[in-house]
């Protein structure tokens, strides 16, 4: 098995792109996406659904420590890869090893090309904007080059069609492409099909939980999905779980941010925008031609709270909502209920919002970063198919991204 691998990424604390592929000027950063409050409409959870459990607990650590923000990965295999690990000796690394000062360093890299990526990243001075990936893929024509996006940048999401045209497959944790305008959603799929490139995004909903794959399999085997519903935000399930233990909302948000459970801007979680994107992605998987604005959304923050402005100012103001939120939690507890942030796709539309659920309801037990989704279909009815497990955090999400990359490297091409 002969493999060629090229990596490129931007250091989290650096303005420069690092690469072993090409030397180019640094890329321009996209502006941070603005979280926007939306109109609200409250609703109640439909009839309780039984829960069986899939998924397991996972250790958590900072994602940025184990995974570059985005990377182009090209694996050109003369035969189908039999290894489940991306550890095949790569051409780019082989070249680097040949000029390496010591044979032991060469041997170390041959064993595990990712072993010293941090040092090599720090030592690299090349830049690699998106053009560098496109030029490289066009020039080298490797067998299965993969562009991996672990940012939340809309600009990068918009570039996927051009990357596919250049020959790259795309694996993404970034929801912006699938939750963008319907026209871009269609263009992506048409480009992928025209250029026979694969577009994999399992981590868009439920991190590493097998949500998209399960839904696709139900549909491609002829099932008709009637409704999908559940807790789709690991960060909100973590935050709401802490508030039930008496932790003020603002502190719970801070802890979720420290653990990197939230979106880069936690307002995306608190307004429900991130859950709305996931609900939209699920609805589109079901063939619905919907836009984000059509998802009915009820923010976790009170409508009169000013959530605009720079992130630091917003976080400084957040304690203002603590007392009212805690009162609401305690009033519900006295009634034997808890708050859960629920998303659903039904035949009537897409809904996202805070819902009081009785302690006896299966969703009441879903907290601490877990997700739980039920799929009611012609085949799975009246008992729905249920997926439950950790749906946020660096380790599980990185594992989901890697699983998509391995699926692409090992699997058949379109």
Ligand X SMILES: NC(=O)c1ccc[n+]([C@@H]2O[C@H](COP(=O)([O-])OP(=O)(O)OC[C@H]3O[C@@H](n4cnc5c(N)ncnc54)[C@H](OP(=O)(O)O)[C@@H]3O)[C@@H](O)[C@H]2O)c1
Q: How far is the CB of 392 from ligand X (least distance, A)?
A: 4
The residues, any chain, with a CB within 8 Å of residue 13's CB and separated by 6 or more, are none
Pick the catalytic residue from 175, 278, 337, 367: 278
Q: How far is the CB of 337 from ligand X (least distance, A)?
A: 27
> E strands within 63-158?
70-75, 144-149
Give the whole-angstrom CA distance, residue 322 versus residue 308.
18
187 is catalytic: no
Give the whole-angstrom CA distance, residue 312 versus residue 36.
16
Give the whole-angstrom CA distance, residue 274 versus residue 265.
10
Q: How far is the CB of 226 from ligand X (least distance, A)?
A: 26
Binding residues (CB under 6 A) for ligand X: these are 10, 12, 29-30, 63-64, 69, 150-153, 155-156, 173-175, 203, 207, 260-261, 263-264, 392-393, 397
Q: Identify which of residues 277 and 361 has a Cβ nearer to ligand X in the complex.
A: 277
Q: Identify which of residues 19 and 152 has a Cβ nearer to ligand X in the complex.
A: 152
Residue of 197, 238, 292, 229 whose CA lies nearest to 48? 229
> E strands within 331-399?
337-346, 349-358, 370-377, 385-390
Q: Identify which of residues 65 and 359 has a Cβ nearer to ligand X in the complex.
A: 65
Q: Identify which of residues 109 and 260 has a Cβ nearer to ligand X in the complex.
A: 260
Compute CA 354 distance to the chain's CA centroid, rounded to the nearest angstrom.
22
Give the whole-angstrom CA distance, residue 277 versus residue 287.
15
Burial 104-118 (b: 16+ CB within 10 A, else e): eebeebeeebbeebe
Q: How far is the CB of 204 from ligand X (least distance, A)?
A: 7
Q: How far is the CB of 3 from ligand X (least distance, A)?
A: 26
- Tokens of residue 232, six digits: 């789709």
Burial class (CB in 10 A: 0-12, 13-18, 19+), 125: exposed
Q: Identify which of residues 281 and 342 has a Cβ nearer to ligand X in the complex.
A: 281
Among all residues, which ones are annotated catalytic?
278
């Amino acid at each position: 098995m002969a493999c060629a691998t090229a990596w490129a990424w931007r250091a989290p604390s650096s303005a420069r792109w690092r690469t072993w592929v090409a030397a180019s000027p640094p890329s321009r950063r996209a502006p941070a996406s603005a979280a926007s409050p939306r109109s609200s409409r409250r609703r109640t959870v439909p009839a309780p659904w039984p829960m069986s459990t899939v998924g397991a607990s996972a250790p958590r650590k900072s994602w940025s420590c184990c995974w570059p923000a985005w990377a182009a990965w090209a694996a050109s295999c003369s035969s189908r890869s039999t290894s489940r690990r991306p550890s095949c000796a790569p051409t780019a690394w082989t070249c680097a090893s040949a000029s390496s000062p010591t044979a032991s360093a060469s041997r170390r890299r041959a064993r595990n090309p990712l072993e010293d990526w941090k040092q090599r990243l720090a030592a690299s001075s090349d830049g690699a904007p998106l053009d560098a990936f496109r030029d490289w893929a066009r020039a080298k024509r490797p067998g299965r080059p993969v562009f991996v996006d672990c940012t939340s940048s809309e600009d990068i999401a918009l570039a996927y069609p051009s990357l596919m045209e250049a020959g790259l497959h795309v694996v993404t944790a970034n929801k912006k492409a699938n939750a963008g305008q319907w026209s871009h959603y269609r263009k992506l799929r048409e480009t992928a099909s025209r250029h026979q490139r694969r577009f994999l995004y399992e981590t868009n909903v439920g991190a590493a939980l097998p949500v998209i794959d399960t839904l696709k399999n139900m549909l491609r085997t002829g099932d008709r999905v009637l409704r999908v519903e559940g807790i789709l935000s690991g960060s909100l399930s973590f935050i709401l779980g802490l508030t039930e233990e008496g932790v003020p909302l603002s502190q719970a948000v801070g802890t979720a941010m420290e653990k990197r459970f939230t979106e880069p801007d936690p307002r995306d979680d608190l307004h429900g925008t991130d859950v709305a994107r996931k609900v939209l992605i699920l609805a589109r998987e079901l063939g619905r031609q919907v836009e984000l604005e059509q998802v009915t959304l009820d923010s976790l923050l009170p409508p009169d709270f000013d959530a605009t402005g720079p992130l630091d100012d917003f976080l400084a103001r957040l304690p203002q909502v603590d007392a009212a939120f805690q009162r609401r939690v305690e009033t519900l507890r006295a009634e034997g209920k808890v708050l859960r942030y629920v998303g659903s796709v039904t035949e009537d539309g897409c809904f996202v919002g805070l819902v009081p659920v009785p302690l006896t309801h299966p969703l009441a037990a879903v907290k601490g970063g877990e997700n739980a989704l039920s799929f009611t279909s012609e085949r799975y009815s009246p008992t729905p198919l249920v997926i439950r497990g950790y749906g946020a955090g660096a380790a599980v999400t990185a594992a989901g991204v890697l699983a998509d990359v391995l699926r692409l490297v090992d699997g058949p091409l379109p």
